[in-house]
Amino acid sequence: MKIKEIYNLAIQMGIKADFREEQGIRKFLENKRKQYEKMNEKEKQEFDKEALENPYLDSRIYHIADDRDIKKVLVGVDIEPAEVLMAKEIGDIDLIIAHHPIGKGLAHLADVMDLQSDVLNFYGVPINIAEGLMRERIEEVARGVNSVNHQRTVDAAKILKINLMNSHTPCDNLAAKFLKNLVEEKKPERVGELVDLLKEIPEYKEAIKIGAGPEIFVGIPENRCGKIALTEITGGTEGSPKLYGKMVNAGIGTVIGMHISEEHRKEAEVAHLNVVIAGHMSSDSLGINLFLDELEKQDIEIIPCSGLIRISRTG
């Protein structure tokens, strides 16, 4: 496979697993086009035109040094210059695939957070409330990533002539879909049963060994789950803490998340919302693995690094 084919596969898999479904994504892109058409010439010049076709601007190809057939990839959750050097040292790495965005993917992280409004709406939060609270948070995240050294890793890849891309939200969508299907199939009644169910997943089993397994952050094992929502697995990064009260009003009893800040945790506690934190690297690994399995089927060799717990489900 060529880099562009691998990249397109990631995007297509992400769309298939997306809460908004294909129709919702089409509308999202149409809306972007309408905004673009209203722009003046100067605004159009500055506009990132990839936004008209790619619903996941946090997932990009950053550098193609050599557009060769890809046989061996180095894949990690966070790729920094150290991992680029590692690829050089290994010697025959055709492509590095990062999970977390870097470069312009990171600069556009806030763009994918719109998805969270749709996920919240899917679980019963009125869209006006979801959009209103998410808008504040999206602006906050956009300002937050403004100060980082965006191109550091991309520059390293350019200097060392290494191919580099990432897949963030498409992989997180795969993890969310996987967990949603599991919860809907097994229907755990109590929060403790939900944690036990997660602990059966191989990525989480591995995480337990290093002390990073699934845990209850709000609630007790005996609490009943009520409606379980997968609102915190995909959609860029954490949403607004003000949403928890609204989620409870919408009938949500338990949230499964990858990670949670202390400010968010306190708000969830006040709202009597159970929170199960599945684990960050392990949850990211689950989504990445579901994508990597498709590459493995194409005879691409995978070298995991930087927090990726590689589990193959290709049989």
Give the total of residues touching Fe ion (CB under 5 A): 1
Query: Which segments of 111-250 are extended strands (E)?
Result: 164-166, 215-218, 227-232
**Residue 78 makes contact with Fe ion by CB under 5 A:** no
Enumerate residues 231-290 that contact Fe ion by CB under 5 A: 284
* Minimum CB distance to Fe ion, residue 190 (Å): 28
* Minimum CB distance to Fe ion, residue 93 (Å): 22
Residue (58 or 94) nearer to Fe ion, CB? 58
**Terminal C-alpha separation, the chain:** 21
**154, 62 in Cβ contact below 8 A?**
yes
Residue (219 or 304) nearer to Fe ion, CB? 304
**Nearest in space to 22 (alpha carbons), one of 33, 11, 34:** 11
**164, 153 in Cβ contact below 8 A?**
yes
**174, 291 in Cβ contact below 8 A?**
yes
Residue (188 or 291) nearer to Fe ion, CB? 291
x/- mask, Fe ion, residues 109-138, rule CB under 5 A, reads ------------------------------
Residue (83 or 284) nearer to Fe ion, CB? 284
* Minimum CB distance to Fe ion, residue 170 (Å): 13
Closest residue to Fe ion: CB criterion: 284
HSE, CB side, 13 Å, CA atoms: give it for residue 73. Answer: 33
Residue (247 or 278) nearer to Fe ion, CB? 278
Nearest-angstrom CA–CA distance, 120 and 229: 8
**Residue 203 makes contact with Fe ion by CB under 5 A:** no
Residue (271 or 288) nearer to Fe ion, CB? 288
Name the amino acid, one letter, at 111: D
* Minimum CB distance to Fe ion, residue 272 (Å): 27
Counting beta carbons within 10 angstroms of the beta carbon of residue 92, is it exposed (0 to 12), middle (13 to 18) or buried (19 or more)? exposed
Residues that bind Fe ion (CB under 5 A): 284
